[in-house]
Chain A
Amino acid sequence: MNRASRLAALTAAVLLAGVGPATADGEDGDTPNEAGTAFRTATVIDQDQTATAVASAGDYLYWTFPVAAGQTATAEATVTLPDAATRTGPSTWRVDVYDGLRRRQACTEGEQVGTAAENAESVTLSCTVRTVRSWAEPWSDDPLPGAYYLRVTVSELPERDLGLPIDVEVAATVADAGGSADRGGDLATPLLPVGTAGTLATGDAGAGEDGGEEEGPQPYLAALPEPEDGWSGGWWTDRWLWTAGGGVLGGLACAGGYLLARPRRSSGA
């Protein structure tokens, strides 16, 4: 019963907000076929988009994708290994997720590390990170809206297998965590990676320097597509329905209570 009503509440929420299911995202046909090799050169992918790359065993491959508040992101990677005949032993592969401030985010689900046997053709990895909050105290490492980095690399391999060609396919999917994860507070801007070269302040007056910075073009690295409902997840949450529902029930109960307790003069007449 609990589930059913929650589902009902959610469906109503979706209908009310006029938002369709967020699966059909703007995939414009061309999937990125290169990977970055550092945080700064990470290839941008959109939510639910698949990207591929040809690389060498031992490379560190980076992609970056946007995640909004209230979403739970899952990074998936499939590494197609070189011909088994050229390999000399098993290898261990791993996927790491970092947030826009390059803080490593823990995986709550999925196989973050996978070992490929000597004759295996491929290895599949995945990492689900915690649901992104719209606000967090600066002393916490909680995931915040903005860019997320996905890094795929080999963590252990026989020395002789270094540099052999591999194919990698990655995808970043997001799931809406629902109303229970809708929190208060907002960041002024999402955590986006800075890309412009820095400017050293020579004088000792700091404030003016900062003012100058913000007048220029945005200092951010690459155009990360903004999630459909904005970075903070929008104003809608099914908490409106729950609370309104509570109000309605309270009102009805009030009326009912009044009917029970009111004087019954008209009964006899």
Chain B
Amino acid sequence: MIIRKWSAVALSALFAALMTGFLSTSAVADQSESETEEGPPPRVELVLDVSGSMRERDMSGGQSRIAAAQQSFNEVIDAVPEEVHLGIRTLGAGNPGDDREVGCQDSQQLYPVGQVDRTEARTAVATLRPTTGFTPIGLALRGADEDLGEGPGTRRIVLITDGEDSCGDPDPCVVARELAASGTNLVVDTLGLTLDDAVREQLSCIAEATGGTYTAVQDTDQLTDRLNQLVRRADLPVENPTAVEGAERCEDAPQLGVGVYNDRAEFGQHRFYRVPLTAGQELRASVSVAADRPVDPDYGVLLRAVDEESQELVRGTGAGSGRTDVISTGLRYPLPETEDDEDTEDDRASRVVCLELSSSFSAPDAVERAPGLPVELTVDVVSAPDEPSDLAAFGLARGWVPLLLLTGVGLVVGLAWGLLVRLGIVMGRA
């Protein structure tokens, strides 16, 4: 009984909400204001390699790599937006000599992540000197992840290096994928100060694993512009998706409201989510599955909406071939208004739609299977459209055939009328 009452209350609330929602649909343009409210600050950490090779003078104008990095850092510090919290970490900082053990543990925080004090930050940057250190990239990434701290808000790492990882354990690419999968929305952008093959491979792998970008840097201006661009990117007013874990079966699936979600789906795995829907509403869902590691060249994604009896309602498919970041698809499913009277509404009006996601990504055997591929799912529930009474706008005619038809019909009617009148008059006279 109580449940019935509650659902009645909920339904009337829903109705009111729908009405207001309907009335305000034209006001879509001014919704983003709320997003600029004070949220958690976007955080960026610059991770700079200070190993011996940074001494090399191969940047434009014969500048050494470290000098170029220092100059760019200073400009970035000057340009960093007020609200962005910036930190700096070095890797290979100490002078361990040949001591690999020590050298591979060497990554220090140079400037803590926080609101930037320009003078202090510049002073810290000025102390940077190339060392005889190793290049423990994996370790530095973990350190940077800790520096950025937990919690919501954008988290980005910008890795600037001129050498590949010289410690090997942990593999930086694996570390990057782990960090990205830990649900903290971390993006790593990488900048390579050399055109070396091994460096490029490693850095692009790190970037790919976290949805970041890789850039080959050849001169100071380019480095500065790119760094500024990446810092600005952290400042975009974009909310982080809510982490959700799709289920293996529809019955166990989490129930989603309107919004953006992320998940991980392993190769060949099906993921189920549920969305409650009321009659007269339309479900809109879109999904993208990212290829964050080397995958085979042909792939696809299938998103199906099924009802509780596993009958397919509608599906969205996407397929592709070749280099890609994501493969995406979407679907919409309007639940028509029932025409039954109010008594039966409680039973029929609301319905749970299951979303079943599967992808046909495959990967060479050497590629790690865990964690799964990143999935981004968006769910929207809006009012359902009205079925059009006619395919043409307002059922109106267009073209010469209807024109001829109308003219012909007019002529026939006119002739018939004239004949009738003549007949009538003749008859009248008689």
> Which A residues fall within an 8 A CB radius of B?
2, 34, 36-41, 54-56, 58-60, 86, 98-104, 134-135, 138-139, 141, 153-156, 159-160, 162-165, 179-180, 182-202, 204-215, 217-226, 235, 237-240, 242-243, 245-247, 249-263, 265
Contacts and interface: CB of A to CB of B under 8 A. Distances in A.
Interface in B10-34: 10-11, 13-14, 16-18, 20-22, 24-25, 27-32, 34
6 contacts: A210-B17, A242-B397, A250-B406, A250-B409, A254-B413, A255-B414
Given A205-B7, A211-B10, A263 B426 contact: yes
Contacts of B241: 40, 197-198
B79 interface: no
Interface of B: 6-7, 9-11, 13-14, 16-18, 20-22, 24-25, 27-32, 34-35, 192, 195, 197, 200-201, 203-204, 211, 213-216, 218, 222, 225-226, 229, 232-233, 236, 238-242, 244, 254-261, 276-278, 281-282, 284-288, 314, 316, 318, 320, 322-326, 328-334, 349-350, 352, 376-400, 402-403, 405-419, 421-422, 425-426
Contacts of A59: 213
Contacts of B409: 250, 253
A196 B218 contact: no
B258 A219 contact: yes
Given A207-B276, A261-B422, A188 B282 contact: yes
A237 to B, nearest CB: 5
Contacts of B330: 99-103
B83 to A, nearest CB: 17
Nearest to B211: A38
Contact of B257 (A34, A37, A39, A213): A213
Contact of A257 (B195, B394, B415): B415
A247 B406 contact: yes
Q: Give the top 3 A-B pairs by smallest Cβ distance, nearest first.
A: A206-B276, A257-B414, A261-B418
A37 B211 contact: yes
Contacts of A159: 197, 200-201
A208 B18 CA distance: 11
A222 to B, nearest CB: 6
Contacts, number: 364
A163 B204 contact: yes
Contact of B380 (A135, A179, A200, A219): A219
Contacts of B407: 246, 249-250, 252-253
A207 B7 contact: yes
B385 A182 contact: no
Given A198-B258, A211-B14, A162 B200 contact: yes
Contact of A253 (B260, B399, B411): B411
Given A98-B328, A138-B334, A185 B385 contact: yes
Contact of B276 (A100, A201, A220): A201
B299 to A, nearest CB: 13
Nearest to A213: B258
B288 A207 contact: no
A38 B195 CA distance: 26
A218 B276 contact: no
Contact of A223 (B13, B29, B329, B397): B29
Contacts of B17: 210-215
Nearest to A239: B396
A137 to B, nearest CB: 9
A269 B166 CA distance: 118
A34 B230 CA distance: 10
Contact of A211 (B13, B238, B259, B408): B13
Contacts of B400: 2
Contacts of B383: 188-189
B385 A188 contact: yes
A202 to B, nearest CB: 8
Contacts of A237: 393-394, 396
A226 B257 contact: no
B424 to A, nearest CB: 9
Nearest to A202: B255
Given A191-B284, A195-B239, A223-B30, A183 B403 contact: no
B385 A246 contact: no
B72 to A, nearest CB: 14
Given A200-B244, A205-B7, A253-B414, 20 more contacts: A38-B211, A39-B288, A102-B287, A138-B314, A159-B197, A179-B398, A184-B389, A184-B390, A187-B385, A194-B258, A198-B244, A199-B259, A206-B277, A213-B17, A217-B34, A219-B380, A253-B408, A261-B415, A261-B421, A265-B425
Nearest to B393: A182
A88 B328 CA distance: 32
